[in-house]
Amino acid sequence: MLSSKIFLTATTVVLLISLLVSIGFPSNNYSSDEDVEAIPIDGGAIGPESFDFNPFDGTGPYTGVSDGRIIKWLPRERRWTDFAITSPNREGCGGPKLEHTCGRPLDLKFNKRNGELLIADAYFGLLTVGPNGGLAKSLVSKVEGRSLMFTNSLDIDHTNGIIYFTDSSQRYTRRDHMLVILTNDKTGRLLKYDLESTKVTVLVHNFTFPNGVALSQDGNFLLVAETTNCRITRFWLKTRKAGTLEVFADLPGYPDNIKVNEKGEFWVAMYSRESRILRWIHSKPWIVYALRKLLPVNIVRVVSYIAKRGGEGLAIKLGVNGEILEMLEDVKGKKWKHASEVMERGEYFWIGSVENSFAVKLKIQ
């Protein structure tokens, strides 16, 4: 038993060093530039994951942050203002240890029919809040008799009021998202919710870390980002292929949100480039379970720490057939990195990240 523990410990060290080398240590300093602006998040919160603008008056962007707030950018005043919260429990909010009580709004989108803001909160499920903000109310918190564990992303078909959203895992919460990757968890789901009938339906079971979701401009299909597999999967809603899945695009990194631009093209943000070490671990999830039991260190925390130290800015624009049209990249990660979303609006990209304490506004070249 002792020799086994020594062997596993040595293996862990080798793996972590290899991961460390593959990621590297680019500078964490933000470099100012006339074409890029870092807009700090106030109140000590971090992680502006996703953005949207009010479709009626153009205000925003709005974004959700780590303390359970949804905040709104006031460009003339150069500041954020509180707009909504996903939980009434506000005491001590801000750190990941209280996410399950304070809420963690991830993706959000406005309903163009009535101006309500739809929210995917990692812990409280699918929510909505009126045009004046305040405390969000629940739309879906349970599916098939079980509470949603890790609600992640959403999109809405404005023609019929159908909301599509992802549940990344039925085993792990957002706080344990690294375990979803390391154990190659396959309990994720794609779901839909009908605003009129209030019926919720599971469209696809057994996804591997389903993350971002986006409806095509013609409404014929959905794209789902499978983070662990570094790919985008297409689920057909219409045409003779309705109800079927196919690989839409293989990616060089771990995808998060997918955002559709005015031309119907898809911007896919990626946290970092793919690690061959992590791919090897995915194929042998028993290693993670064994190391968690045998080692005195928190293996998940160590891997997470190393991953956060490196990284670069990476996003890809895909066409309607999955072809790569453009790559947006900050190789050194000096201006932006660990991207969770890239939203193209007017002359700028709005770039979010679950790790950063600022939103990035980047002028389109």
25-42 burial, b for 16+ CB within 10 Å, e for fewer?
Answer: ebeeebeeeeebebbebe
pLDDT of residue 352: 98
User: What is the residue type of 25?
Assistant: F
- Please give the Cα distance from 110 to 62 (Å, whole number): 10
Whether 319 shows a pLDDT value over 80: the answer reads yes
Axis crossing angle, helix 299-309 with helix 2-23, rounded to the nearest 10? 20
Domain ranges of the chain: 2-363
CATH architecture group of domain 2-363? 6 Propeller (2.120)
Contacts 24+ apart (CB under 8 A), 133-137: 133/70, 133/72, 133/82, 133/83, 133/84, 134/84, 134/85, 135/84, 135/85, 135/88, 136/70, 136/84, 136/85, 136/86
Residue of 112, 107, 89 whose CA lies nearest to 99:
89
What pLDDT, in 10s, does the model give residues 173-226?
998 898 898 888 999 999 999 999 999 999 999 999 999 999 999 999 999 999
Give the residue-averaged pLDDT of 87-95: 89
pLDDT of residue 183: 87
Give the residue-averaged pLDDT of 251-271: 97
- Please give the Cα distance from 362 to 61 (Å, whole number): 14
What pLDDT, in 10s, does the model give residues 109-163?
999 999 999 999 999 999 999 999 999 999 999 999 999 999 999 999 999 999 9
* pLDDT top residue among 4 and 285: 285
Taking a C-beta distance cutoff of 8 angstroms, is the pair 148, 142 a contact? yes
* pLDDT top residue among 309 and 56: 56
pLDDT of residue 28: 32
